[in-house]
Homo-oligomer: A and B are copies of this chain.
Amino acid sequence: MRIGFVGTGTMGRPMAANLLKKGHTVVGFDVVPAALEAAAKLGVERAGSAAEAAKGADLVVTMLPSSPHVEAAYLGARGVLEGVGQGRLCVDMSTIDPSVSRRVAEAARARGARFVDAPVSGGVPRAEEATLAIMVGGEARDVEEARPVLACMGANVIHVGPVGSGEVAKICNNLIAGVAAVAISEAFRIAEGFGVDPGTLTEVIAKSSGATFIMEHMHPVPGQVAKAPASRDYAPGFMTDLMAKDLGLAVSAARDLRVPVFVAPAAQQVLRLASSHGLGRKDFSVVYQFLKPSGKDAPV
């Protein structure tokens, strides 16, 4: 299959590589020339614009960092919708505002094309292993059409609901995961202050109502879970900056929907602040390190 691939950055490159491995032809584009260059070395054919990458493609994949990038890549001058063939399917794998997914889907429909959103979970390591989890929003037949292509890049492809639902599932999941990481960090800092052993506490909580996937697999305290980022100096994993972005998408969606939210913005802002203070490219569980107590001479 001939696949147009827009966005061959850090995440997009290994994903495109996996499409090549499965025998697809990939025509790529990226606004950053070096990113396109690196993909070209792996066998991706270079296009001069998103429109050009989309032209003649059986299916278009986009993997971009944020909502405005996606809008520009589809709706802008020399964008995907200028090049994509009649009736073709566009698969946006970026993590963005679900309302933008819907807006782009409508624009695609108006232009005679189809659109599904298919954000991924797992980061670069699982992109390289082609074991990403992929949450898809769109018409059932479109999702089925995309499935074999998605299966080249990920291990777990779930159809969540209509267009935008993939994004909704992703940001709702990450809202909970991000908040949990902060909550666990707060709890273990408190326990530490009382001199309670973190290993024992981990065992107790693992069997109680506070058990979470995050503590089991991405424990924020170094040394508690061998394979967790915390145990390798918070090498990501999933970067603080990306978690702050996803929490921001959730909070912003809540605002548009008039849903009152409290723990999501609290977690979002503390991760944002951790980023301001130099921890943006560490795994988001580094928030544990950021939430250190102040000195014992401070009055209480």
Whether the Cβ atoms of B295 and A258 lie closer than 8 Å is yes
Nearest CB of B to A129, in Å: 17
C-alpha gap A294/B277 in the complex (Å): 7
A264 within 8 A of B: yes
Q: Are A269 and B258 in contact (CB under 8 A)?
A: no
Closest CB-CB distance, A250 to chain B, in whole Å? Answer: 6
With contact pairs A180-B183, A183-B176, A256-B300 given, residues A276 and B293 touching in the complex (Cβ less than 8 Å): yes
Contact B259 A66 (CB under 8 A): no
Q: How many copies of the polypeptide does the oligomer hold?
A: 4
A209–B121 contact, CB under 8 A?
yes
Q: Hey, which chain B residues are within 8 Å of A258, CB to CB?
A: 193, 272, 275-276, 293-296, 298, 300
Cross-interface CB contact of A257 among B66, B194, B203, B257, cutoff 8 Å: B194
Number of A residues, CB within 8 Å of B: 96
Please, which residues of chain B bring their CB within 8 A of the CB of A251? 251, 255, 265
A-B contact pairs, 25 of them (CB 8 A): A66-B299, A66-B300, A160-B201, A161-B197, A162-B195, A169-B196, A169-B205, A172-B190, A175-B183, A175-B210, A176-B187, A176-B212, A179-B182, A180-B212, A190-B261, A194-B257, A209-B213, A210-B213, A241-B294, A251-B265, A256-B300, A262-B270, A263-B263, A263-B266, A265-B265
A171 is an interface residue with CB less than 8 A from chain B: yes
Which A residues lie at the B interface, using CB under 8 A? 65-66, 98, 121, 133, 135, 156, 158, 160-162, 164-165, 168-169, 171-177, 179-180, 182-184, 186-191, 193-197, 200-201, 203-205, 207-215, 217-218, 241-242, 244-245, 248, 250-270, 272-273, 275-277, 280, 290-296, 298-300
Residues of B within 8 A of A168 (CB): 190-191, 194, 196, 201
Task: Point out the residue from B164, B175, B259, B277 that lies within 8 Å of A277, measured CB to CB.
Answer: B277
Are B172's CB and A191's CB within 8 A? yes
Q: A276 vs B296: C-alpha distance in the bound complex, in angstroms?
A: 10
Q: Which of A160, A174, A250, A263 lies at the interface centre, i.e. has the most chain B CB atoms within 10 A of its CB? A: A263
Could you tell me if B210 and A176 are in contact, using CB atoms closer than 8 angstroms? yes
- CA–CA, A172 and B215, complex, Å: 13
Given A213-B212, A272-B294, A293-B260, A254 and B176 contact (CB-CB distance below 8 Å): no
Residues on B with C-beta less than 8 A from A161 are: 195-197, 200
Known: A160-B196, A300-B256. A174 touches B133 (CB 8 A): no
B residues less than 8 Å from A250 (CB atoms): 186-187, 190
Known: A168-B191, A173-B208, A252-B255. A280 touches B293 (CB 8 A): no
